[in-house]
């Protein structure tokens, strides 16, 4: 006889403490003496394995809680909604929002962006746009630099990137321009080595 997850192993009744039991085995393999009344009424549907499995399923939504992409999702939402965050003024304070689809659903976000590639962070393609599927991508720090609001660019290239190409320190081109150098010379001349 089968009752839910219990399979009765024999018809021999066991009497204990004024109750009648049957020897049963659960679908998971657990052997136990189960009260006949509880078997027939469905009060005992398993050894507890079904409840444990449901609890694990309920509490394990995606298994990504301690990953970089999950932290990215949390930080993205906080920048846009938590007025106590330092970055709020540059995100939520400017009207940047996380789309409704992603706000409460990490897996919806994850399905679009996937795992975070090494040395990359989430970036909005349109710096004035919201965090939404059509406006995000993973970018390197250098690419992020190109997409800053306060970034100075020459011919569409970030000045910091030009500094790197010239082999100089950060701020090289800016200092040259402040000194009155012509733009073409400021962005093409390699820095002189000091002797």
pLDDT in tens, 73-104: 999 999 999 999 999 998 999 999 999 999 98
**Contact indicator for 73, 109 with CB cutoff of 8 Å:** yes
For 47, half-sphere exposure in the C-beta direction (CA atoms, 13 angstrom radius) is 14
**pTM of the entire structure?**
0.53
Q: What average pLDDT does the chain have?
A: 87
Residue 157 has pLDDT above 80, yes or no: no
Q: What is the dihedral of CA 123, 124, 127, 132, to 10 degrees?
A: -150
pLDDT, position 55: 80
Packing angle of the helix pair 106-113, 68-81 (nearest 10 deg): 120
Whole-number Å distance between alpha carbons of 128 and 94: 8
The dihedral through the CA atoms of 114, 120, 125, 128 has a sign that is: positive
Whole-number Å distance between alpha carbons of 94 and 123: 16
């Amino acid at each position: 006889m089968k009752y839910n997850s219990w399979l009765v192993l024999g018809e021999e009744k066991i009497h204990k403490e004024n109750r009648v039991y049957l020897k049963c085995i659960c679908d998971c393999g657990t052997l136990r003496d189960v009260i006949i009344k509880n078997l027939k009424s469905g009060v005992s549907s398993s050894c507890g394995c079904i409840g444990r499995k449901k609890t694990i399923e309920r509490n394990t939504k995606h298994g990504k809680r301690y990953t970089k992409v999950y932290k990215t999702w949390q930080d993205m939402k906080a920048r846009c909604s938590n007025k106590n965050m330092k970055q709020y003024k540059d995100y939520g304070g400017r009207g940047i929002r996380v789309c409704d689809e992603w706000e409460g659903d990490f897996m919806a976000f994850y399905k679009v962006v996937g795992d975070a590639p090494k040395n990359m962070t989430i970036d909005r393609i349109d710096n004035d746009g919201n965090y939404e599927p059509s406006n995000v991508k993973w970018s390197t720090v250098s690419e992020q630099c190109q997409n800053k609001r306060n970034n100075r660019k020459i011919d569409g290239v970030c000045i910091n990137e030009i500094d790197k190409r010239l082999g100089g320190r950060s701020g090289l081109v800016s200092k040259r321009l402040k000194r009155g150098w012509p733009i073409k010379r400021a962005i093409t001349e390699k820095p002189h080595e000091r002797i």
